[in-house]
Structures are given as structure tokens and as C-alpha cells.
């Protein structure tokens, strides 16, 4: 998608700190990290969100990348959180499916009442 910021990072049209890539998946550092480790895992192909008719195979490849990134970032032993914000209520702001991998400190965020 020509106006998608993550498609531009994947295509290397704009800068991004890419830490892993293969035929299906790209992982890069979040520009606005919420914790010491905050890496995003995205499919190369554009999907708006997790419900956007994505194949189980590709979903598998995306989620199989999570432990790879956790190990690469050194949080596989200490633990981490995996988040997929989806749609308006999920507070998704970039509409290219992405998995957040967050760690490196005790998680400050707990689910609570909506604000």
C-alpha cells in the first residue's frame, strides 16, 4: 500500500531499524518504545489487521517469529508481553498488522477500566 508507513519501512523507502527479515516477515524497532525492548513484527504483505483474511500459514510464520525476536533481544528468559492492537477499540494506530514484543522491565501496564 503506497500510503502505509510500515510498507515503506519494509520496502526500505524510509528508515527503520530492521532487526530481522525473511521471505514473509520483517521485524523492526518501534519508533516510540514503551519499554527497553519494543520490537514490531509485521508481514511483508500488507494486511490491515489480524482479521484481514490472512492465511493461517502466514499467521503461524508471524507468531513463530516472536520467540526468535525475544531471544535476539535477550528477554526470552526474563519474559515479555505480546500485543496485537486491533481496530478502534484496540487503539490500533498503524493499519498494517503488527505484533508488539515488549520487555526488558517489569510490565507497568495492567488491564483496567476504560478511560
The residue ranges that bind ligand DGP (CB under 6 A) are 5, 9, 16, 28-32, 85, 91-94
In whole angstroms, the minimum distance from the beta carbon of 58 to ligand DGP comes to 18
Give the C-alpha separation, 8 to 63, whole Å.
Answer: 22
What's the rounded Cα separation, in Å, for the pair 8 and 36?
A: 24
Please say whether the beta carbons of 82 and 64 come within 8 A.
Answer: no
CB of 92 to ligand DGP, least distance (A): 4
Cell 531471544, residue located: 71
Smallest distance from ligand DGP to CB 6, Å: 7
Residue 79 C-alpha cell reads as 519474559
Please tell me the distance from the alpha carbon of residue 97 to that of residue 7, in angstroms, as a whole number.
11
Nearer to ligand DGP, 51 or 77 (CB): 51
Our CB check for ligand DGP shows the closer of 16 and 43 to be 16
Tell me whether residue 15 or residue 79 sits nearer to ligand DGP (CB atom): 15
**Residue 98 annotated in active site:** yes
Instruction: Just list the catalytic residues.
Output: 98
Amino acid at each position: 500500500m503506497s500510503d502505509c508507513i510500515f510498507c515503506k519501512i519494509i520496502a526500505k523507502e524510509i528508515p527503520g531499524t530492521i532487526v530481522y527479515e525473511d521471505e514473509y516477515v520483517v521485524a523492526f524497532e518501534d519508533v516510540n518504545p514503551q519499554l527497553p525492548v519494543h520490537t514490531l513484527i509485521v508481514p511483508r504483505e500488507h494486511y490491515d489487521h489480524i482479521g484481514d483474511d490472512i492465511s493461517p500459514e502466514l499467521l503461524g510464520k508471524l507468531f513463530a517469529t516472536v520467540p526468535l525476536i525475544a531471544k535476539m533481544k535477550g528477554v526470552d528468559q526474563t519474559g515479555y508481553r505480546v500485543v496485537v492492537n486491533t481496530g478502534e477499540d484496540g487503539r490500533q494506530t498503524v493499519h498494517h498488522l503488527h505484533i508488539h514484543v515488549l520487555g526488558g522491565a517489569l510490565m507497568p501496564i495492567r488491564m483496567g477500566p476504560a478511560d
